Chain A
Amino acid sequence: DTGVSQNPRHKITKRGQNVTFRCDPISEHNRLYWYRQTLGQGPEFLTYFQNEAQLEKSRLLSDRFSAERPKGSFSTLEIQRTEQGDSAMYLCASSPPGGSNTGELFFGEGSRLTVL
């Protein structure tokens, strides 16, 4: 399978715990995006990387959230001290070089977080 891979697919955690999600993009894609999707809503932009550089962060991304892409390949999204409001689907997407000219995002199947 050469698509975008995310894991874990589901995570249930207690409030206050830390969680980490991993995204493996399509191998030749240099841009990687994180979006958050809550029930009945469209994906909301969180942050994106071009290679290993984090180029933009949404104000939705509080200081409890951190994302990395250390070698320009896979990325991790960590949420510290989780709150019930963090419960959502976290979607990763990648796009090929010249992504802004191409536009298309290739999404993974998401990591669903439930905070109890």
Chain B
Amino acid sequence: GENVEQHPSTLSVQEGDSAVIKCTYSDSASNYFPWYKQELGKGPQLIIDIRSNVGEKKDQRIAVTLNKTAKHFSLHITETQPEDSAVYFCAALSMNRDDKIIFGKGTRLHILP
């Protein structure tokens, strides 16, 4: 089955700087890669996703890149703000084969004032 590795587990960046979180996956059949943000006491919430037919997607300060050959994908947050502090999870899904999303272990992002 699919295995998703995520790093770093903890990341601290100065407010206004950029943050990058990286993930790798094992199943070449995976074709959908969402990123979720989880704030304290809440369930994860989708912030951006990318499908295997594109290499990059951007939404305001957030961007994701995908390298299918290397089986890795990354989340980039620019101009970080205090409200970006949270735990971020990458995930992978093979939409052609099954319907369960497999999550990485998460990255706790701290935005320093």
Query: Is the beta-carbon distance between A45 and B100 smaller than 8 angstroms?
Result: yes
Q: A50 CA to B44 CA in the complex, in Å?
A: 21
Q: Tell me the smallest distance from the CB of A94 to a CB of chain B, in Å.
A: 11
Q: Which of B9, B34, B104, B105 contacts A103 (CB 8 A)?
A: B34
Contact check, B41 vs A109: say whether CB atoms are below 8 A apart: yes
Q: B41 contacts which chain A residues (CB < 8 A)? A: 109
Contact of A40 among B36, B46, B105 (CB under 8 A): B105
Most interface-central of A35, A41, A45 (chain B CB within 10 A)? A45
List B residues at the A interface (Cβ < 8 Å).
4, 6, 9, 32, 34, 36, 41-46, 49, 89, 91, 93, 95, 98-106
Residues on A lying within 8 angstroms of B by beta carbon are 4, 31, 33, 35, 40-45, 48, 50, 55-56, 91, 93, 99-101, 103-110
